[in-house]
Amino acid sequence: MAEKTIPLLPCVTVQPIVDFYTALGFETTYLQKSPYAYAVVERGTVELQFFGMKQYDPAGSISGCYILTDDVETLYAAFRAGLKAAYGKIPSRGLPRIGPLKDMSYGVRQFLMTDPAGNSIRVGQPISEDQQHRPAPKETFARALHTADLFVDSKEDLPGAAKVIDRALGLTDERPTPAQHLRLLVLRGDIAQRLGDDVLAGRLLEQAEGIALTEEERKSARDALVRLDELRG
Protein backbone atom coordinates (compact mmCIF):
# COMPACT_ATOMS: atom_id res chain seq x y z
CA MET A 1 0.00 0.00 0.00
CA ALA A 2 1.08 3.57 -0.68
CA GLU A 3 -0.16 6.38 1.53
CA LYS A 4 0.10 10.14 1.25
CA THR A 5 -0.67 12.82 3.81
CA ILE A 6 -2.16 16.06 2.46
CA PRO A 7 -2.38 19.10 4.77
CA LEU A 8 -5.80 20.76 4.90
CA LEU A 9 -5.35 24.41 5.83
CA PRO A 10 -7.88 27.19 6.52
CA CYS A 11 -8.20 30.57 4.84
CA VAL A 12 -10.78 33.35 4.59
CA THR A 13 -10.88 33.40 0.79
CA VAL A 14 -8.90 31.24 -1.62
CA GLN A 15 -7.76 33.76 -4.25
CA PRO A 16 -4.99 35.41 -2.14
CA ILE A 17 -3.80 31.90 -1.29
CA VAL A 18 -3.75 30.85 -4.93
CA ASP A 19 -1.85 34.03 -5.88
CA PHE A 20 0.72 33.49 -3.11
CA TYR A 21 1.46 29.88 -3.97
CA THR A 22 1.50 30.65 -7.70
CA ALA A 23 4.31 33.11 -6.92
CA LEU A 24 6.17 30.23 -5.25
CA GLY A 25 5.89 28.08 -8.36
CA PHE A 26 2.88 26.00 -7.34
CA GLU A 27 0.21 25.03 -9.85
CA THR A 28 -3.47 25.38 -8.93
CA THR A 29 -4.93 21.96 -9.74
CA TYR A 30 -8.38 22.56 -8.27
CA LEU A 31 -10.35 25.72 -7.53
CA GLN A 32 -13.90 25.82 -6.21
CA LYS A 33 -15.88 28.89 -5.16
CA SER A 34 -19.25 27.31 -4.31
CA PRO A 35 -20.95 25.81 -2.42
CA TYR A 36 -17.83 26.60 -0.36
CA ALA A 37 -14.35 27.86 -1.21
CA TYR A 38 -11.71 25.21 -1.78
CA ALA A 39 -8.36 25.12 -3.57
CA VAL A 40 -5.57 22.65 -4.22
CA VAL A 41 -2.03 23.73 -5.12
CA GLU A 42 0.84 21.45 -6.09
CA ARG A 43 4.57 21.80 -6.70
CA GLY A 44 6.31 18.57 -7.56
CA THR A 45 5.29 16.04 -4.91
CA VAL A 46 4.08 18.73 -2.49
CA GLU A 47 0.31 19.16 -2.33
CA LEU A 48 -1.56 21.60 -0.09
CA GLN A 49 -5.31 21.98 0.15
CA PHE A 50 -7.21 25.00 1.49
CA PHE A 51 -10.78 25.51 2.63
CA GLY A 52 -12.56 28.82 3.17
CA MET A 53 -13.85 29.94 6.57
CA LYS A 54 -15.61 33.32 6.64
CA GLN A 55 -15.10 33.79 10.39
CA TYR A 56 -11.45 32.76 10.30
CA ASP A 57 -8.82 35.19 11.66
CA PRO A 58 -5.41 34.83 9.93
CA ALA A 59 -3.70 36.88 12.66
CA GLY A 60 -4.64 34.23 15.22
CA SER A 61 -3.77 31.23 13.08
CA ILE A 62 -2.01 28.24 14.59
CA SER A 63 -2.24 26.11 11.43
CA GLY A 64 0.71 24.91 9.42
CA CYS A 65 2.74 22.05 8.05
CA TYR A 66 6.33 20.94 7.48
CA ILE A 67 7.81 20.30 4.04
CA LEU A 68 10.95 18.17 3.89
CA THR A 69 13.28 18.61 0.93
CA ASP A 70 16.72 17.46 -0.16
CA ASP A 71 17.61 20.93 -1.54
CA VAL A 72 16.44 23.65 0.81
CA GLU A 73 18.89 26.21 -0.61
CA THR A 74 17.33 26.03 -4.08
CA LEU A 75 13.77 26.22 -2.75
CA TYR A 76 14.62 29.20 -0.56
CA ALA A 77 16.17 31.09 -3.46
CA ALA A 78 13.28 30.23 -5.79
CA PHE A 79 10.61 31.22 -3.27
CA ARG A 80 12.29 34.54 -2.48
CA ALA A 81 12.67 35.33 -6.18
CA GLY A 82 9.03 34.44 -6.85
CA LEU A 83 7.75 36.58 -3.99
CA LYS A 84 9.85 39.54 -5.06
CA ALA A 85 8.52 39.27 -8.62
CA ALA A 86 4.92 39.00 -7.42
CA TYR A 87 4.92 41.55 -4.58
CA GLY A 88 7.66 43.94 -5.69
CA LYS A 89 9.68 43.08 -2.58
CA ILE A 90 10.40 40.10 -0.37
CA PRO A 91 7.87 40.30 2.49
CA SER A 92 9.56 39.75 5.86
CA ARG A 93 6.76 40.83 8.22
CA GLY A 94 3.00 40.84 8.32
CA LEU A 95 1.09 38.50 6.04
CA PRO A 96 2.45 36.94 3.92
CA ARG A 97 6.12 36.73 4.90
CA ILE A 98 9.23 34.59 4.58
CA GLY A 99 11.96 34.23 7.20
CA PRO A 100 15.68 33.49 7.06
CA LEU A 101 17.36 30.21 6.16
CA LYS A 102 19.40 28.80 9.02
CA ASP A 103 20.68 25.66 10.72
CA MET A 104 18.50 24.64 13.64
CA SER A 105 19.70 22.87 16.78
CA TYR A 106 17.53 19.84 16.03
CA GLY A 107 19.42 18.74 12.92
CA VAL A 108 17.66 20.52 10.07
CA ARG A 109 18.40 23.52 7.89
CA GLN A 110 15.12 25.36 7.45
CA PHE A 111 13.15 28.51 6.77
CA LEU A 112 9.62 29.54 7.67
CA MET A 113 6.97 31.07 5.46
CA THR A 114 3.59 32.37 6.53
CA ASP A 115 0.95 32.60 3.81
CA PRO A 116 -1.83 35.23 3.53
CA ALA A 117 -4.07 33.08 5.73
CA GLY A 118 -1.52 32.91 8.55
CA ASN A 119 -0.59 29.27 7.89
CA SER A 120 3.01 28.59 8.90
CA ILE A 121 4.86 26.54 6.27
CA ARG A 122 8.22 25.25 7.47
CA VAL A 123 10.61 24.02 4.80
CA GLY A 124 13.62 22.05 5.94
CA GLN A 125 16.40 19.69 4.93
CA PRO A 126 17.90 17.18 7.38
CA ILE A 127 21.58 17.92 8.00
CA SER A 128 22.07 15.35 10.75
CA GLU A 129 20.85 11.83 11.46
CA ASP A 130 19.97 13.03 14.95
CA GLN A 131 16.93 15.31 14.75
CA GLN A 132 16.26 15.48 18.46
CA HIS A 133 16.42 18.78 20.30
CA ARG A 134 19.97 19.36 21.50
CA PRO A 135 20.46 20.41 25.12
CA ALA A 136 21.03 24.13 25.55
CA PRO A 137 24.75 25.01 25.74
CA LYS A 138 26.09 26.07 29.12
CA GLU A 139 28.10 29.04 27.80
CA THR A 140 26.08 32.23 28.27
CA PHE A 141 25.91 33.60 24.73
CA ALA A 142 25.73 30.24 22.97
CA ARG A 143 22.80 29.43 25.24
CA ALA A 144 21.12 32.76 24.43
CA LEU A 145 21.46 32.14 20.69
CA HIS A 146 20.22 28.56 21.03
CA THR A 147 17.14 29.65 22.98
CA ALA A 148 16.37 32.71 20.87
CA ASP A 149 16.61 30.72 17.63
CA LEU A 150 14.11 28.20 18.98
CA PHE A 151 11.76 30.96 20.14
CA VAL A 152 11.89 32.75 16.76
CA ASP A 153 11.91 29.90 14.25
CA SER A 154 10.21 27.05 16.08
CA LYS A 155 7.90 28.55 18.69
CA GLU A 156 7.46 31.81 16.72
CA ASP A 157 7.56 33.81 19.95
CA LEU A 158 9.25 37.04 18.86
CA PRO A 159 8.80 38.99 22.13
CA GLY A 160 10.18 36.02 24.10
CA ALA A 161 13.23 35.82 21.85
CA ALA A 162 13.77 39.58 22.13
CA LYS A 163 13.87 39.32 25.93
CA VAL A 164 16.47 36.53 25.78
CA ILE A 165 18.73 38.52 23.46
CA ASP A 166 18.30 41.84 25.30
CA ARG A 167 19.27 40.13 28.54
CA ALA A 168 22.42 38.68 26.93
CA LEU A 169 23.42 41.95 25.25
CA GLY A 170 22.90 43.83 28.51
CA LEU A 171 25.46 41.80 30.47
CA THR A 172 28.49 43.73 31.67
CA ASP A 173 30.52 40.99 33.33
CA GLU A 174 30.71 38.77 30.23
CA ARG A 175 31.21 39.57 26.54
CA PRO A 176 30.29 37.50 23.49
CA THR A 177 32.80 36.60 20.82
CA PRO A 178 32.62 38.82 17.71
CA ALA A 179 30.73 36.12 15.80
CA GLN A 180 28.27 35.64 18.67
CA HIS A 181 27.83 39.40 18.98
CA LEU A 182 27.04 39.72 15.29
CA ARG A 183 24.56 36.83 15.38
CA LEU A 184 22.79 38.30 18.42
CA LEU A 185 22.54 41.76 16.84
CA VAL A 186 21.29 40.46 13.50
CA LEU A 187 18.67 38.23 15.10
CA ARG A 188 17.53 41.02 17.39
CA GLY A 189 17.43 43.45 14.46
CA ASP A 190 15.43 40.94 12.45
CA ILE A 191 12.95 40.62 15.34
CA ALA A 192 12.68 44.39 15.71
CA GLN A 193 11.95 44.77 12.00
CA ARG A 194 9.31 42.03 12.08
CA LEU A 195 7.69 43.73 15.07
CA GLY A 196 7.58 47.04 13.20
CA ASP A 197 10.34 48.88 15.09
CA ASP A 198 12.38 50.00 12.10
CA VAL A 199 14.41 52.56 14.07
CA LEU A 200 15.68 49.95 16.53
CA ALA A 201 16.23 47.46 13.70
CA GLY A 202 18.32 49.98 11.77
CA ARG A 203 20.46 50.80 14.79
CA LEU A 204 21.12 47.13 15.62
CA LEU A 205 21.91 46.16 12.04
CA GLU A 206 24.26 49.12 11.61
CA GLN A 207 26.06 48.03 14.77
CA ALA A 208 26.32 44.49 13.40
CA GLU A 209 27.85 45.77 10.16
CA GLY A 210 30.62 47.43 12.15
CA ILE A 211 31.85 44.21 13.78
CA ALA A 212 35.17 43.00 12.36
CA LEU A 213 35.40 39.24 11.86
CA THR A 214 38.22 36.90 10.93
CA GLU A 215 37.70 34.57 7.97
CA GLU A 216 37.00 31.70 10.39
CA GLU A 217 34.47 33.80 12.29
CA ARG A 218 32.76 34.77 9.04
CA LYS A 219 32.31 31.08 8.25
CA SER A 220 30.72 30.42 11.63
CA ALA A 221 28.39 33.40 11.21
CA ARG A 222 27.61 32.87 7.51
CA ASP A 223 23.82 32.63 7.89
CA ALA A 224 23.74 35.78 10.02
CA LEU A 225 25.84 37.64 7.44
CA VAL A 226 23.49 36.56 4.65
CA ARG A 227 20.51 37.66 6.71
CA LEU A 228 22.20 40.99 7.46
CA ASP A 229 22.55 41.60 3.72
CA GLU A 230 18.90 40.64 3.18
CA LEU A 231 17.66 42.96 5.90
CA ARG A 232 19.85 45.87 4.87
CA GLY A 233 19.01 45.40 1.20
- pLDDT tens, 162-197? 999 999 999 999 999 999 999 999 999 999 999 999
pTM, rounded to two decimals = 0.89
Does residue 155 have a pLDDT over 80?
yes
Report the pLDDT value the prediction gives residue 214, as an integer from 0 to 100.
97
Lowest mean pLDDT, pick from 67-81, 119-133, 158-172, 203-217: 119-133
Lowest mean pLDDT, pick from 60-74, 79-93, 119-133: 119-133
Q: What is the mean pLDDT of the chain?
A: 95
CA distances from 45 to 7, 57, 68, 171 (A): 13, 29, 11, 48
* Contact partners, residue 107, CB within 8 Å, separation at least 6: 126, 127, 128, 129, 130, 131, 132
Q: Which pLDDT band, with edges at 50, 70 and 90, does 135 fall under?
A: confident
CB 205 within 8 A of CB 189: yes
The one-letter amino acid code at 57 reads D
Q: What percent of the chain has pLDDT over 90?
A: 90
Q: What is the pLDDT of residues 41-68, one digit of tens each?
A: 999 999 999 999 989 999 999 999 999 9
The one-letter amino acid code at 204 reads L
- Extended strands (E) in the chain: 8-11, 27-32, 38-43, 46-52, 64-68, 97-98, 102-103, 108-114, 120-126
Report the pLDDT value the prediction gives residue 132, as an integer from 0 to 100.
76
CB 208 within 8 A of CB 166: no
d(CA 60, CA 71): 31
Report the pLDDT value the prediction gives residue 2, as an integer from 0 to 100.
84
d(CA 211, CA 73): 26
